[in-house]
């Protein structure tokens, strides 16, 4: 229960965003190269026989391997090669992604069309653009104001597109699998598990761990059971594509919906704020204006604690720590300030 790279030549070489954190974070590497023969074999599982001219890895993904595919007829597409590294069962992405993207498109949420999908991979419409995470570090803030607002508005539209009613849960294929516990109890269970991991790593003291345990005991009262929405569940600026249209930056698409579930909308908003802080600095006001509000302070503090305890305990063996993981380790040092905000609520 957690959670295609593109570039263009419009990015300025000047850095306007003065981020304090984390300028030393290594960029996510591209996936390994694959041959045209391997890509053609993957496309054959989608009943696509059009010859491939070129396959180019797209940088920046952790969950899947993404490739820009140029066909001999001049068409472009994004090939997503599915990977799954979690303990939970896969969410039947072969059905889930096409169904979900159609649902979102009907609600005027800009998403790429899923052209075909199998259990191994999916072929998506190629969207020309650049990730908001990337361009926000080089463009003047005023130049991206409209794109941030459009991203917030599109997320609000997505949240309103919930066909499953008042029941929270995982989306598996095109069906809802209700959570095995309440929303507040799930958060409490996860935070306890992550805190135990931090104690094993000896990066949090006993007093702070005990405070966290007491907060977990109070989560049913602190969080309650919010009305669930269709939540992205991996909302952050790297999953927002923007492009220049009519001389200005605009939203091109929200991408990577494979982890979408039905849950508290503030979970998405708090995640966007936290990951956004790691990736680009303070999320601009335009995003919140576009969405219509910020996450409630109390709920945001609880979800920040969840993300800090989770991400600060990750120790990836085959890659450098990502920016959100480094931010979580930094905020863990001052975790008392987060706990103060929760306890004051």
Domain assignment present for 254: yes
Backbone angles phi, psi at 258, to 5 degrees: -65, -25
Q: Are 151 and 261 in contact (CB under 8 A)?
A: no
If one counts the domains in the chain, the total is 1
- Does the residue 108 lie in any domain? yes
In a domain, 307, yes or no: no
CB 240 within 8 A of CB 254: yes
Domain of residue 121 covers 36-177+225-295
Give tens-digit pLDDT for 8-40: 333 333 333 334 444 445 566 678 899 999 999
pLDDT at 230 over 80: yes
Q: What average pLDDT score do residues 304-318 get?
A: 95
Please tell me the pTM assigned to this model.
0.90
- Cβ-contact 148, 139 below 8 angstroms: no
Which CATH number characterizes residue 150's domain? 1.10.510.10
216 band by pLDDT with thresholds 50, 70 and 90: very high
The answer to the question of residue 220 being in a domain is: no
Query: Which regions of the chain does DSSP assign to beta strands (E)?
Result: 52-57, 65-71, 76-81, 114-117, 121-125, 130-131, 169-172, 175-178, 229-231, 240-245, 248-254, 261-263
Query: Is residue 329 in some structural domain?
Result: no
Alpha carbon distance 333, 268 (integer Å): 24
pLDDT given for residue 28 in this prediction:
67
Select, from the ranges 117-121, 143-147, 221-225, the one with the highest average predicted confidence (pLDDT). 143-147
Higher-pLDDT residue of 178, 84? 178
Q: Which of 69-78, 84-93, 188-197 has the lowest mean pLDDT?
A: 84-93
In angstroms, rounded to a whole number, what is the distance separating the alpha carbons of residues 136 and 5?
15
According to the model, what pLDDT value does residue 26 have?
56
Residue 43 counted as domain residue: yes
Does residue 217 lie within any of the structural domains? no
Q: Are the C-beta atoms of 252 and 222 separated by less than 8 Å?
A: no
């Amino acid at each position: 229960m957690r959670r295609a790279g593109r570039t263009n030549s419009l990015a300025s070489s000047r850095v306007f965003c003065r981020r304090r954190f984390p300028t030393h974070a290594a960029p996510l590497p591209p996936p390994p190269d694959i041959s045209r023969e391997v890509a053609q074999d993957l496309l054959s599982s989608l009943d696509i026989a059009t010859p491939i001219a070129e396959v180019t890895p797209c940088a920046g993904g952790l969950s899947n391997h993404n490739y820009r595919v140029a066909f001999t007829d001049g068409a472009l597409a994004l090939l997503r090669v599915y990977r799954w590294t979690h303990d939970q069962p896969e969410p039947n992405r072969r059905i889930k992604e096409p169904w979900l993207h159609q649902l979102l498109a009907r609600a005027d949420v800009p998403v790429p069309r899923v052209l075909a999908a199998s259990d191994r991979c999916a072929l998506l419409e190629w969207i020309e653009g650049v990730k908001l995470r990337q361009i926000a570090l080089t463009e003047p803030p005023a130049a991206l104001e409209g794109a941030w607002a459009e991203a917030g508005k599109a997320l609000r539209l997505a949240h309103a597109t919930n066909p499953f009613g008042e029941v929270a849960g995982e989306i598996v294929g095109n069906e809802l699998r209700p959570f095995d516990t309440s929303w507040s109890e799930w958060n409490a269970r996860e935070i306890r598990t992550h805190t135990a991991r931090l104690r094993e790593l000896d990066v949090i003291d006993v007093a702070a761990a005990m405070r966290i345990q007491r907060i977990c005991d109070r989560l049913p009262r602190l969080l309650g059971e919010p009305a669930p929405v269709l939540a992205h569940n991996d909302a952050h600026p790297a999953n927002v594509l923007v492009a220049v249209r009519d001389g200005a930056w605009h939203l091109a698409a929200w991408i990577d919906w494979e982890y979408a579930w039905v849950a508290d909308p503030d979970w998405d908003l708090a995640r966007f704020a936290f990951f956004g802080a790691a990736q680009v600095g303070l999320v601009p006001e335009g995003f919140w204006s576009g969405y219509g509000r910020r996450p409630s302070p109390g709920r945001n503090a609880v979800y920040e604690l969840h993300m800090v305890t989770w991400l600060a305990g990750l120790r990836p063996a085959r890659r450098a720590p990502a920016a959100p993981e480094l931010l979580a380790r930094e905020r863990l040092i001052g975790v008392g300030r987060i706990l103060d905000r929760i306890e004051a609520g």
